[in-house]
Chains A and B, each alone.
Chain A
Amino acid sequence: MGNDPIIVKLKDQFKTGILEVTEKNQKRIIVTINPDSLPNIAGYLYRDAGFRFIIASAIHTKRGFEIHYHFSEDSAGLILNLHVILDRNNPEVESLSNMFNASNWIEREMHELFGINFLNHPNQEKLISEGNWAEGVYPYRKEFKSNSEEKE
């Protein structure tokens, strides 16, 4: 398939970082990675492989706080997601905003809506919450029942 080269390269360079690869089709790939490997793999995509950062989507699920970092390879129409799962009690991950400016605002927004901490973010201040909700309130977090019969 046309996108195997990028997967092969990623697996080659970042063996331990990559946990799972889901190829929906030639143009949609999700790579689940170890959160610690995020800066290196994102850096490879942006600097070496010429990908553009579209945006990041955070979701609060039973597994924890999941973030999909969406990257686009425009000439191929490919969207490649770097998918991380962060600890539900202390969600934090290294900020990408020191590498490129495109993630600056969305990391601030994810911080306000979900309470995820982006380590070393240059200015993790309020973006949209001023006057709209109180400090320490993370409106997009969900309530999950935590009994042991729940499937993970």
Chain B
Amino acid sequence: MSRKTLIPIGPYHPLQEEPELFKLYCDGEIVKDIQWVTGYNHRSIEKLSESKTYEQVFFLVERICGICSTSHPFAFANAVEEIVGIEPTDRAKYIRSIIGELERIHSHLLWVGLAGHFLGYNTVFMWAWKYREPVLDLFEMITGNRNSYAMFRVGGVRRDIESDKIAAVRKILADVKSKTDLLTGAVMDDPVIHARLKGVGILTKQDVIDYGAVGPTARASGVAIDVRKDDPYAAYPLVNWKVITAQAGDVFAKAEVRLLEMYESISIIEQCLKGLEKEKEGDIMVKVNEIPEGIGHGRAEAPRGEVFHFVVSDGSNSPARHKIRAPSYVNIATFKKSCVGQTIADATITLAGVDPCYCCTERMAVVYDVRSGEKIMNARELIDRSISRSHDLMEELKKSK
């Protein structure tokens, strides 16, 4: 008779930065069901927004999530500018897109690092985070901070990227490109990574549509949605780039999409820098005196998918209602489909595959025995289980040579 086991992951674990409790119900080695207990991260941000002025809300929303720090102000700016009926200057659009794409690069590098750790490739973790540092240095040079950039305002951006900075951006970008080549090669060519990620955590196209999943999670299953192409904003319609998709829907496809997207981001930034050189320096703001009554829908393509902000204005200084939906809100729910049927060893990488941002969602995993309700392992043990699976595969590979 098979025993069903309960394995706790979280709520607080050193490498799972945010607290969210996932309950994985297992039968022997197979995950049968997944439930979650959230509430650890709830900060009532939508309510707080109603007591802040529009300018203050930018500082609030960029702290919804440290990694998608630009995407929330981006979507909020789009929403408010829709209410007012204006668009920022071209120079501001280029700057917004540059910041947005730099964020995508650093976020995907962060993900590659975490995924590497979950698989037992600690070198990948260290490299990816080391190569992230120059991107953070760029942010510090342009905006003054490594995270939480305070770059957005209604009608434009707060700081310019002057011509003397452009050369530095180009230099670091070239370096990032060569490091991306290194990481892509390391991930895509490694047989153990193929064995660990291919066929694991599959999300079908139909599931993506049913759950309304977005971002690389959707694109890896062949659903070609990307806000930058579908509902263009900022400088995206002014430059050439393509939407990256894959068909398999497994974690490998998700990794592939993220890695290839980094190249598109680099290309977009290079084109935006050329665009900046043609625009007048300092022309970064369209003056807005007041926000009239009205409704605005703003969206932006964050590294994890579509960020959606819905703003209702009553003509006063603060939003009357500000609804925020981060991409992880819809993506995390897909675990019901992608995690069930996986082995415990594959559960961690499946969970990580969606690149969940719990602070965007509000929102760690525990495994329970389906029958007895007993806890068997903790978060550390679950990750160790995944790491030892990789080691077993490496051994098998050596023996077969």
Contacts and interface: CB of A to CB of B under 8 A. Distances in A.
A98 to B, nearest CB: 12
Chain B interface, DSSP helix/strand/loop, else mixed: mixed
A69 B210 CA distance: 16
Interface residues of B, number: 31
Nearest to B232: A77
Contact of B321 (A55, A57, A127): A57
Contact of A30 (B37, B38, B295, B325): B295
Interface in A75-112: 75-77, 79, 100-102, 104-106
A76 B231 CA distance: 7
A54 B325 contact: yes
Given A30-B295, A100-B212, A128-B39, A74 B330 contact: no
Counting chain A CB atoms within 10 Å of each CB, the highest count among B231, B306, B312 belongs to B231
Interface string B291-313: 00001010000000010101010
B82 interface: yes
A68 B310 contact: yes
B211 interface: yes
B42 interface: yes
Size bin of chain A's contact surface: 20 to 34
Interface stretch (A2-10, A33-41, A129-137, A143-151): A129-137
Interface string B21-45: 0000000000000000111001010
B189 interface: no
A77 B336 CA distance: 29
Given A102-B212, A128-B362, 10 more contacts: A52-B212, A53-B212, A54-B308, A57-B323, A59-B312, A70-B297, A74-B225, A79-B297, A105-B329, A132-B39
Nearest to B37: A130
Contact of B310 (A24, A70, A128): A70
11 contacts: A28-B82, A28-B297, A53-B212, A68-B310, A76-B230, A101-B336, A102-B212, A102-B330, A105-B333, A128-B38, A128-B39
A26 B297 CA distance: 13
A149 B321 CA distance: 24
A106 B308 CA distance: 14
Contacts of A100: 209-212
Interface of B: 37-39, 42, 44, 46-47, 82, 209-212, 225, 230-232, 295, 297, 306, 308, 310, 312, 320-321, 323, 325, 329-330, 333, 336, 362
Most chain A CB inside 10 Å of its own CB: which residue of B46, B232, B330, B362: B330
A24 B83 CA distance: 10
A55 B297 CA distance: 12
Contact of A74 (B230, B295, B310): B230
B115 to A, nearest CB: 25
Contacts of B320: 59
A101 B210 CA distance: 6
Closest 5 CB pairs of A and B: A102-B212, A77-B231, A57-B323, A55-B325, A74-B230
B306 A54 contact: yes
A105 B231 CA distance: 25
A63 interface: no
Contacts of B209: 52, 100
